[in-house]
Structure 1
Amino acid sequence: MIQGVCPVLEVPFTAAGDVDYDGFDRVTEHVMGTGVGAVMFPGFASEFPKLDDAERTRLTGRLLRAGNAHGVPVVVSVPDHATVVAIRRAREAIDAGAAAINILPPHVFAPAPAQVRRHVEAVLDAVAGTPVVLQYAPAQTGTALDAETIRAFAERHGAGLQVKVEVVPPGPVVSALAAGPRPVGCLIGYAGVHLLDGLRRGAVGVQPGCSFVEVYVEIWRLWHAGRIADAEALHRRLLPYIAYWMQHVELIVQAEKTISRRRGLIADDHCRMPGRPLDGPESAEVDRFLEEFADLLAGQGSGGSVVTP
């Protein structure tokens, strides 16, 4: 089962928009050395709709090899809309060594709820025996589920089903899934905006982006060391930034990539278009963020220190 901090990996691009595979390897190496419980790819933070099949396959293979070398579990996401493709992708990932599969329910053209359920059930049946994270992200996808439906999925898949909760607020869903004879473990998404509420309700993990994952690892460490007040104080420092960036998916993707570039983790913060470039005040906010958290982030980049623009 996936526990702790499980970041979604970003994909570096060159200024021309080509995948920077060596840069992806560097990001992977860095993140796997920060004390994370697992990593996931591809997610919204990976700009997965902007990757072609060959790029996605190649990146997944590189990540799985790194996970095996470092002993870090890799969750491979299957965000594919077509059920037959999602099943094929999931099986390929398992055969290649994925520790778990993430299912993003289909949402293009707003499929009927019954069709969404059949898709999830078909993928669950195809990967029986493998841990699965079901991604519940109605704000990003419009796909509406409820605790009863998710519990039925858990009955079908057994104890191997967890849920990434990205509904706002996530707390009631976490509590509902934790209740009953077979609790369903929940991971908090949405950049961890509601992480503390999730922890109070029994969440077993958090899935943020990866550019400042050390902050989430420290919050997690403090909380589980019994230093609740310190964990809360650190999260309060983080909250104004992530609350602003989470106003739009493309905004936080760009903000995270800009952070990674200024830290020296990647060479370029290019996002494939269409995107959401930062304006002047937003770029300055990234500088303030790096100053605010320099105690946790300094010395982590490829150059050994935070990189200024």
Structure 2
Amino acid sequence: MTLTQTSIGDASVLVRGVSPVLEVPFTWRGEIDVPGFRRVVRHVLGTGVTSVMFPGFASEFHKLSDAERRELTSVLLAETRERPDVAAIIAIQDHATLLAASRAREVVAAGADLINLLPPHFLRPSRQAVLAHVRAVAEAVAPIPVVLQYAPSETGTSLNAKSIVAIARDLPNLKLVKVESSPPGRLIEELGNERPPMLAVEGYAGVQLPDAIRRGAVGTQPGCSFVEIYLEIWRLFAGNEEAAGEALYRRLLPYISYWMLDTELIIATEKLISVRRGLIDSPYCRAPAHVLDTQEIQMVDRFIEEFASLLPSIAF
């Protein structure tokens, strides 16, 4: 058990500010690049973040075998297990409640500091069934903190603030909600206005980040290839330099608003950015995937040039 697991509050407090979702590099043959993933972990932790999440949509979790997930999770936890200053959030996406609870207990035993729970969505289970799933998995790992991921665009799941807070009243380890609705701000504010208030982090590549911050978001969970930009935006807002934060966000927005038109598009884009920066060796995405065309590749190169002062080359 890690130091951050010794009380419910400790690990969840580390999920503040920028909490990146880690990408998974593959070789050109489509195999997981384990040394490359270790570089990703070390680089992202080296930027000063206090938590990271794996595996998420940005990690192509839906294209990993169970054995690959376990191997990569082991690599991550080897880097975080003995560090009280960072938290590893391990995601659980299994559709069956039994399997989700089992996997959640497994990763907690291996050293996960928090669980990120994506509710079941195949064949459109009822809201009652979804909430029962959330309750069962949270109970299975108590008192380890749980982050509930709400991604209606990707999953079609429909939840509201009152139903989420109702579970949290019974399960004090349900600590945070990752809100990825479009826009996320209203739900973030509604969660904060409930009694007791429910804390939220924003996802969806930060497309609505300033609004989410103003409405009470305590963090953001973007991808990891240009985490430094998100860190600077967050630093400016946190330091009461809202105008400067807005200006930097407005420069970023044309890029992320295009890339987030499709999840596979931003996955492919972030990998190419990481290759251009020297973090990983291959931008390979397992099929089915989005193949960047000439204009999209040029867009990546313009992005790297425009933000060069915040995105130094990475050497290992």
**TM-score range with shorter-chain normalisation?**
over 0.9
* Contact 2:26–2:283, Cα closer than 8 Å, also in 1: yes
Q: Which amino acid aligns with 1:240?
A: P
Counterpart for residue 19 of structure 2: 6
Q: More displaced, 62-71 or 220-229?
A: 62-71
* SS of equivalent to 2:171: helix
Residues 1:96 and 2:110 are matched in the alignment: yes
TM-score relative to the length of structure 2: 0.93
* Contact 2:90–2:114, Cα closer than 8 Å, also in 1: yes
Counterpart for residue 165 of structure 2: 151
* SS of equivalent to 1:75: strand
Residues 1:267 and 2:281 are matched in the alignment: yes
Counterpart for residue 87 of structure 1: 101
- The CA distance in 2 between the partners of 1:159 and 1:120, in whole Å, is 12
- The CA distance in 1 between the partners of 2:31 and 2:179, in whole Å, is 32
> Structure 1 regions of 5+ residues with no counterpart?
304-309
Task: Indicate the percent of aligned positions where both proteins have the same amino acid.
Answer: 54
Cα distance, 1:160 vs. partner?
4.2
Q: Which amino acid aligns with 2:58?
A: A
* SS of equivalent to 2:158: coil
* SS of equivalent to 2:47: coil
* Contact 1:129–1:160, Cα closer than 8 Å, also in 2: no
Cα distance, 1:88 vs. partner?
0.7
Cα-to-partner distance string for 1:101-147 (whole Å, 9 max, x where unaligned): 00000111222222111111110111121111000000001111111
TM-score relative to the length of structure 1: 0.96
Query: Which among 254, 262, 274 is matched to residue 248 of structure 1?
Result: 262
Cα distance, 1:97 vs. partner?
1.2
Residues 1:229 and 2:243 are matched in the alignment: yes
* SS of equivalent to 2:194: coil
- The CA distance in 2 between the partners of 1:151 and 1:194, in whole Å, is 23
Cα distance, 1:156 vs. partner?
2.1
Counterpart for residue 48 of structure 1: 61
Q: Which amino acid aligns with 1:78?
A: I
Cα distance, 1:63 vs. partner?
0.2
- The CA distance in 2 between the partners of 1:182 and 1:35, in whole Å, is 31
- The CA distance in 2 between the partners of 1:233 and 1:36, in whole Å, is 22
> Structure 2 regions of 5+ residues with no counterpart?
1-11
- The CA distance in 2 between the partners of 1:234 and 1:10, in whole Å, is 24
Residues 1:296 and 2:310 are matched in the alignment: yes
Query: Which among 48, 73, 88 is matched to residue 60 of structure 1?
Result: 73
Counterpart for residue 3 of structure 2: none
Report how many aligned residue pairs link the two structures. 302
Q: What root-mean-square deviation, in Å, do the aligned CA atoms of Structure 1 and Structure 2 show?
A: 1.1
Counterpart for residue 190 of structure 1: 204
Change (3 A) 1:69 1:128: closer
Residues 1:178 and 2:200 are matched in the alignment: no
Cα-to-partner distance string for 1:194-249 (whole Å, 9 max, x where unaligned): 11001101100000000000000111111111111111111111111000000010
- The CA distance in 2 between the partners of 1:19 and 1:111, in whole Å, is 33
- The CA distance in 1 between the partners of 2:173 and 2:103, in whole Å, is 22
Runs of 4+ in 1 over 2 A off after TM superposition: 68-71
Cα distance, 1:159 vs. partner?
6.0
- The CA distance in 1 between the partners of 2:204 and 2:247, in whole Å, is 19
- The CA distance in 1 between the partners of 2:30 and 2:82, in whole Å, is 29
